[in-house]
């Protein structure tokens, strides 16, 4: 099962390595990891996406809660949430085919952020499946590079 775990932590050196090590030490491969400052610069939010056994992951969540630098742990398995993934995709495209790329961007609400003589860079965000579908449609044009943020998530409502 896929788990998205959000952790509010103290924004200081070594915390990321400590938490990532906790997952690795339990045999979990991290599918996605996104870290950034919160509204309070002294704190960061880490969003970790892993796949694995529910009972083992419950132990990991409990151990996360015991780490001094961890302020709050939220598992989005049992709550409604909004998630987004951001990607920058560089596509090799001849000028005569650029219109097709612009039309795909319009349908997927992507945004062209850079145009060069031989390539276009596009920004796309949304649920993981939307981003993956967009990337799949760009493959025939010649993808040169893809950079993704990993998923971020927030609980819905109050």
Classified as helix, coil or strand, 88 is: strand
Fold that domain 2-78 belongs to in CATH: Alpha-Beta Plaits (3.30.70)
Q: Which helix (H) or strand (E) holds 103?
A: helix 98-108
pLDDT digits (tens, 9 = 90+) for 83-100: 999 999 999 998 889 999
pLDDT score, position 141: 93
User: What percent of the chain has a predicted confidence (pLDDT) above 70?
Assistant: 99
Q: Which helix (H) or strand (E) holds 126?
A: strand 119-126
Assigned architecture for domain 82-155: 2-Layer Sandwich (3.30)
User: What number of other Cβ atoms are within 10 A of residue 134's Cβ?
Assistant: 21
Mean pLDDT on 31-45 = 92
| Average confidence score pLDDT of the chain | 90
Is pTM, for the whole model, over 0.85? no
| Tokens standing for residue 154 | 């927030």
pLDDT at 29 over 70: yes
Closest CA to 93 of 131, 148, 134, 144: 144
| More confident of the two residues 59 and 101 | 101
| More confident of the two residues 104 and 66 | 104
Q: Please report which confidence band the pLDDT of residue 158 belongs to, taking 50, 70 and 90 as the band edges.
A: low
User: What number of other Cβ atoms are within 10 A of residue 146's Cβ?
Assistant: 13
Q: Please report which confidence band the pLDDT of residue 134 belongs to, taking 50, 70 and 90 as the band edges.
A: very high
Domain extents in the chain: 2-78, 82-155
Q: Could you give phi then psi for residue 101, rounded to 5 degrees? A: -65, -45
Mean pLDDT on 145-150 = 93
Judge whether 2-78 and 82-155 match in fold: yes
């Amino acid at each position: 099962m896929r788990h998205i775990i959000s952790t509010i932590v103290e924004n200081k050196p070594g915390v990321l390595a400590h938490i990532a090590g906790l997952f690795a030490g339990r045999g979990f491969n991290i599918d996605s990891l996104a870290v950034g400052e919160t509204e309070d610069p002294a704190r960061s939010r880490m969003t970790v996406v892993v796949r694995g056994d529910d009972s083992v992951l419950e132990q990991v969540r409990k151990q996360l809660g015991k780490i001094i630098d961890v302020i709050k742990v939220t598992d989005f398995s049992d709550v409604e949430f909004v998630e987004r993934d951001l990607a920058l995709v560089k596509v090799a495209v001849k000028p005569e085919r650029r219109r097709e790329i612009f039309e795909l961007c319009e349908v997927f609400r992507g945004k062209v952020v850079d145009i060069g003589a031989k390539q276009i860079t596009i920004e796309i965000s949304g649920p993981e499946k939307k981003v993956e579908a967009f990337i799949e449609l760009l493959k025939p044009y010649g993808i040169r590079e893809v950079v993704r943020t990993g998923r971020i998530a927030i609980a819905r409502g109050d």
